[in-house]
Amino acid sequence: MTNEPAKELFRRYYVARTLTVPALAQREFGFGFESKIDYRHKAFGSEGEFNDFMRREAPLYASYSTARYSLPAARPMPRKGSLGTDLVFDLDKTYESEHPDSHNAIACERCLSRSRDDALRFLEEFLIADFGFKKSDVAVNFSGNKGFHFHVRTAAVQPLSSLARKQLCDYAGGFEVSGETLLETLGEGKAAVLRSPQPGDGGWRGKFYSSALGIAQNATQESLQENGLTKGKAAKFMEQKAVVVSAIERGKWDYLPWSLDFWRKIADDTVRAHRVELDKPVSFDLARLIRIPGTLHGSSGLVAKPVDDLAKFEPLKDALAFSGRERQAVVCDHDVSFDFGGQTLDVRAGVTVELPLSASLLLYCRGVAKPAG
């Protein structure tokens, strides 16, 4: 059954604004009133037509194709006539396992903060530094629920194959790099050569180089032991610390032959610290539908909001559909407590309480509340 209290507020939201969609007439649209996509193969000829639909139907979920088509409403898929596909990444990981005792299923600021940190790292370290996109090439928006979406709509990415898109996701996930590949011994005996990161390297080699050099420069007996060296080897490292740092600065990693396993561990730690887990099918499925920026998410009532400054973005303050001034009385079927819009809200089961309208909408979408009366 459609969530009527949420649907009413969704309609109010859409009536009050006009949404824009890049290349709208070339997109396929899909909508959901109970599940995320109840039907698809919908097309619109203009933004006016699209916005009239949103105001009239107020879907709980609204998505559009990452692909562009000559006939976006045609069926089956081959009849649509692909004109290219935007490069889209979805970072939608859950972080509950990192803080199971404090995770809040209604609205978890810790999960959202971790997601934002991963999103910022993906933008700066991978999309810009490693993949070479300009910041202006990348449109970032909050997904409306748990994570972030990244849209690259330049002409250069439109013909990329499904495999190429998957490879970009695998690269960001660090699936093919490790201590063994970043510090690789080629040959045997006296002919053995250590293939290792050098000053000025980019990509994963550069990430490891910067991390390892910093560890060497700031090394203490305690930090080296914490990173796996025995007390004796840590002492020897400290005795020759200046020489080791100088060697690494020149790209020489075998000055202390017994330290190779130590550096490989540091490399593995670097990969774990910098890798970003993406929802790969969103990127490599060329017929994928994804949340329309600016629409509401039916599981939260939050806005899939475009984000200009990821470092400062706070979803539970910045992605609210309504201002904090308007309130609505609700009744919950069990006790809930959650942080929302900069305040902690405590609601007892069966007790009528007035909440900010966006908080009431969140509880409707989570299925734990209904309007009072």
Mean pLDDT value across residues 340-355: 92
Q: How confident is the model at residue 6 (pLDDT cuts 50, 70, 90)?
A: very high
The two structure tokens encoding residue 225: 């032991």
**Would you say 341 and 359 are in contact if contact means Cβ atoms under 8 Å apart?**
yes
Per-residue pLDDT tens over the stretch 203-255: 999 999 999 999 999 999 999 999 999 999 999 999 999 999 999 999 988 88
Spatial CA neighbour of 238 closest among 254, 258, 253, 223:
223
Return the SS3 of 29.
strand
**Would you say 215 and 208 are in contact if contact means Cβ atoms under 8 Å apart?**
no
State the Cα–Cα distance between residues 267 and 178, nearest whole angstrom.
6
The confidence score (pLDDT) of residue 325 equals 84
- From residue 332, alpha-carbon distances to 43, 72, 207, 225, 260 in Å are 39, 42, 49, 52, 59
Return the SS3 of 91.
strand
356 sits in which H/E element: strand 353-356
193 has a pLDDT exceeding 80 = no
373 has a pLDDT exceeding 80 = no
Class of domain 322-373: alpha beta
Query: Judging by beta carbons within 10 Å of its beta carbon (0-12, 13-18, 19+), is residue 42 exposed, middle or buried?
Result: middle
CB proximity list for 272: less than 8 A, separation 6 or greater: 174
- From residue 106, alpha-carbon distances to 26, 320, 334 in Å are 37, 15, 12
Per-residue pLDDT tens over the stretch 24-82: 999 999 999 988 899 999 999 999 999 999 999 999 999 999 999 999 999 999 999 99
Mean pLDDT value across residues 145-158: 97
Mean pLDDT value across residues 72-93: 96
Per-residue pLDDT tens over the stretch 261-274: 999 999 999 999 99
Per-residue pLDDT tens over the stretch 283-315: 999 999 999 999 999 999 999 999 999 999 999
The confidence score (pLDDT) of residue 323 equals 86
What pTM was estimated for this model as a whole?
0.93
Of these ranges, 190-194, 317-321, 322-326, the one predicted with the greatest mean pLDDT is 317-321
Which part of the chain has CATH 3.90.920.10? 4-172+278-318
State the Cα–Cα distance between residues 96 and 183, nearest whole angstrom.
34
The mean of the pLDDT values for the chain is: 94
The confidence score (pLDDT) of residue 161 equals 98
Query: Judging by beta carbons within 10 Å of its beta carbon (0-12, 13-18, 19+), is residue 98 exposed, middle or buried?
Result: exposed
**Would you say 138 and 123 are in contact if contact means Cβ atoms under 8 Å apart?**
yes
H-type alpha helices, the chain: 4-15, 47-57, 109-121, 162-172, 179-182, 203-217, 221-226, 231-239, 241-249, 260-274, 280-284, 315-318, 357-366
Class of domain 4-172+278-318: alpha beta
258 has a pLDDT exceeding 90 = no
Single-letter residue type at 205: R
Which part of the chain has CATH 3.40.5? 322-373
